[in-house]
Chains A and B, each alone.
Chain A
């Protein structure tokens, strides 16, 4: 052994902890805690397992009482499950965060410029920086939006950009953008609230940057969009309703912003103006933070069978009588194939080099890439371009031959619909394993939430750290046994 034998140092809940071949956010390869984790490690190592379990129960009860649950349907009855919360926070030192923040700011502005361009002048298409066919074949491209002047030129009011930390380089890379209706920010705020209640002493030794200003900042931006001026802004949040898996978040944000939470049936369009139905008659609506997908917004324009939307809404939007956030048609910017061009957008629109790298992406629409992908399927992650939430995905190394062959067929039938990426060894953070009652390394990603007011980008420090709680799993989605962690951005480097 050349380095000081690390495992012996790790005590208490950390006894026997292994960093493996991954970038561990808490421990150096030598086994020493990283400087910004040192104090937390000291504190946790002193806890007996039953003390730790106590804290866990406290946190679980808090989540249950607040109804932060999602519903699992089996044998005809719905049972409510908690979205698992892991008590070990993910800590980002100041310098890491400022780097991320610069990269995200640049990216959000470039995405907005791209959307302005595609639905406006189409300079980037005319100059052939991106194939026209790639744009026009995107399922989320909406012709209806061409030439529409969106309020203040903002398309991407709210973006959630998924980052992963590559174990090989230790660098943060962009995995994908979410510029339609990204969800999860309520967990960021709730996780922090529960964390400060269950582990108050941990906050004594750290200066953690607060996150609770998010709803206020969001509300400020929404009010700015009002066609009747900020002073008269009637803002509402449009939800698909109580059975939507993100319903908790919708009601949470509406309450925190102090705006009405409405369903499609609460709204009505008359002569190009949107109203809500109140006990004292109709009341005009100026700004809609909509958490309903484009396709369901207006049955007159999009899916005619949708009951979630409001007939005539698009007409009111195009006439400038109501503002929508995010804009309609944004899906073109987070199409997973278009995503590969974002670094080019940054160079093209901003004349800057991208601050953050991107996970290498093969576009199956390009013949060369397609050949490579089909040859290396068992090593790659393949994703359908228009899907999100872990749907329509193939994880090569974790799939059997039959699944791979099925996917091969799908790719060959519709190459435009697929992209592939190498499997990234996601970084790990120690997480409590319920079975062994010990800390174990678990893979994490990071989704920061960015708000854009047309001038500057506000990013709440940190974001949602999702963690794959199953041993060895790389999938962080809640439907696949994923959980989340509180994410701390420190005021200064330790």
Chain B
């Protein structure tokens, strides 16, 4: 029997995965940076909290609500704020809404898991939490997301539905990592090879926020060098949160959906993905810095956005029959 995948359902699966991944990434970044910044509250760092907001691409919205970026306001904004569409709680809510519209298509375990996660994060009382710090919430979301993808892996047939989830989370992860690297470098690398102690902590924080700190230590055995960090997060072939790894997953998912053979492409999204991936495969970290890290990552983000649009055009929108 052939399986049928409605365009609307593919759309919901894609966004379910994206929102879940976005919630997790935001939680990771908030958790690590919050604690790192608290430790260093004595050092006079002007832009300390602002990068977190810039990362989320929400400066404008943020300053509509708050005077300044500090531990409380950033935490509230990124975690709870209902009028921040990308706050952790909003992402979980939207992931669950997407799951709800397709709950007949996902496994019962997946639904119960995401529904349970939703009820547990909406039960956190913002006022109480803001004084006690974000660790409990962030941990719940991080492991909630891992559990959800684990449950998905174990209970959902690995068919087209699975592939739409996969392209959702890998595209989201690639974008989030690109933004994270771009911002940390911009705020820290005024002078590229001066690595002060404070900076060192921030590099560590960045690695920790993508769960790559231990892996970095194992791989490079060296003190933390910005170039190595960039290499790890952008070009590493095996680290599951590197951009290259994520784009590789994205390509595998897109090919599984269209049935395209390696070396060719069936649609614009696949063509762009292939082109981006070739760059990531064959560029060295020196190439990246020679072009300029910021420009390199901006190009990448622009391409990711186009890929997202092309996926929607190819699979989700449906014009009337001719």
Residues of A within 8 A of B (CB): 64-67, 234, 241-242, 247, 250-252, 254-255, 260-263, 265-266, 268, 270, 275-280, 282-283
Contacts and interface: CB of A to CB of B under 8 A. Distances in A.
Interface string B79-122: 00000000000000000010011111100100110011001000
Given A65-B116, A66-B111, A268 B320 contact: yes
Nearest to A269: B321
Interface in B243-293: 257
B312 to A, nearest CB: 11
Contact of B4 (A241, A251, A268, A283): A283
9 contacts: A64-B115, A65-B116, A65-B119, A261-B102, A262-B6, A265-B8, A268-B321, A270-B321, A280-B5
A64 B101 CA distance: 17
B4 A277 contact: no
Contacts of B104: 250-252, 254-255, 261
Main secondary structure of the interface of B (DSSP, over half): helix
B100 A67 contact: yes
Contacts of B320: 268
B58 interface: no
A250 B103 CA distance: 10
Contacts of A66: 108, 111-112, 115
Contacts of A263: 8
Given A67-B100, A67-B103, A260 B112 contact: no
B17 interface: no
A242 B100 contact: yes
Interface residues of B, number: 25
A277 B11 CA distance: 12
A65 B8 contact: no
Contacts of A255: 103-105, 108
B4 A278 contact: yes
A24 B62 CA distance: 62
Contacts of A270: 321
Nearest to A257: B104
Contact of A65 (B7, B112, B318): B112
Contact of B115 (A67, A252, A275): A67
B6 A260 contact: yes
A254 B4 CA distance: 14
Main secondary structure of the interface of A (DSSP, over half): mixed
A425 B4 CA distance: 51
Contacts of B101: 241-242
Top-10 shortest CB links A-B: A255-B104, A254-B104, A251-B104, A277-B318, A261-B104, A279-B315, A251-B103, A65-B112, A279-B5, A67-B115
A353 B315 CA distance: 58
A254 B101 CA distance: 12
B112 A282 contact: no
A110 to B, nearest CB: 34
B30 interface: no
B10 interface: yes
- The winner among B4, B10, B320 for most chain A CB atoms within 10 A is B4
A254 B108 CA distance: 12
Contacts of B119: 64-65
Nearest to B100: A242
A358 to B, nearest CB: 37
Contacts of B7: 266, 277-279
Contacts of B102: 261
Nearest to B11: A279
A265 B7 CA distance: 10
Contacts of B103: 67, 251, 255
B105 A261 contact: yes
Contact of B160 (A65, A265, A276, A279): A279
Given A66-B112, A282-B321, 12 more contacts: A65-B115, A65-B116, A65-B119, A67-B100, A67-B103, A251-B104, A255-B103, A266-B6, A278-B6, A279-B7, A279-B160, A283-B4
A64 B103 CA distance: 15
Contacts of B100: 67, 242, 247, 251
Nearest to A253: B104
Contacts of B112: 65-67
A270 B318 CA distance: 14
Contacts of B111: 66-67
A247 to B, nearest CB: 8
A58 to B, nearest CB: 15
A93 to B, nearest CB: 33
A263 B318 CA distance: 14
A241 B103 CA distance: 12
Nearest to B119: A64
Given A65-B112, A65-B116, A268-B321, A279 B105 contact: no
Contacts of A262: 6
B256 to A, nearest CB: 12
Interface in B42-75: none
Given A67-B100, A254-B104, A278 B5 contact: yes
Given A67-B100, A251-B104, A252-B104, A276 B321 contact: no
B106 to A, nearest CB: 9
Contacts of B321: 268, 270, 275, 282
Nearest to B97: A242
Contacts of A277: 6-8, 318
A273 B105 CA distance: 25
A260 B7 CA distance: 12
Contacts of A266: 6-8
A124 to B, nearest CB: 40
A323 to B, nearest CB: 18
Nearest to B7: A277
Interface string B287-322: 000000000000000000000000000010010110
A234 B318 CA distance: 20
Given A67-B100, A251-B104, A261-B105, A279 B115 contact: no
Contacts of A254: 104
Contacts of A268: 320-321
Contacts of B105: 255, 261
A192 B131 CA distance: 44
Contacts of A260: 4, 6
A33 B153 CA distance: 51
B21 to A, nearest CB: 21
Contacts of A65: 112, 115-116, 119
Nearest to B5: A279
Contact of A279 (B97, B108, B116, B257): B257
A241 B102 CA distance: 10
A262 B6 CA distance: 8
Nearest to A241: B101
A259 to B, nearest CB: 8
A260 B160 CA distance: 15
A71 to B, nearest CB: 11
A241 B100 CA distance: 10
Contacts of B257: 279
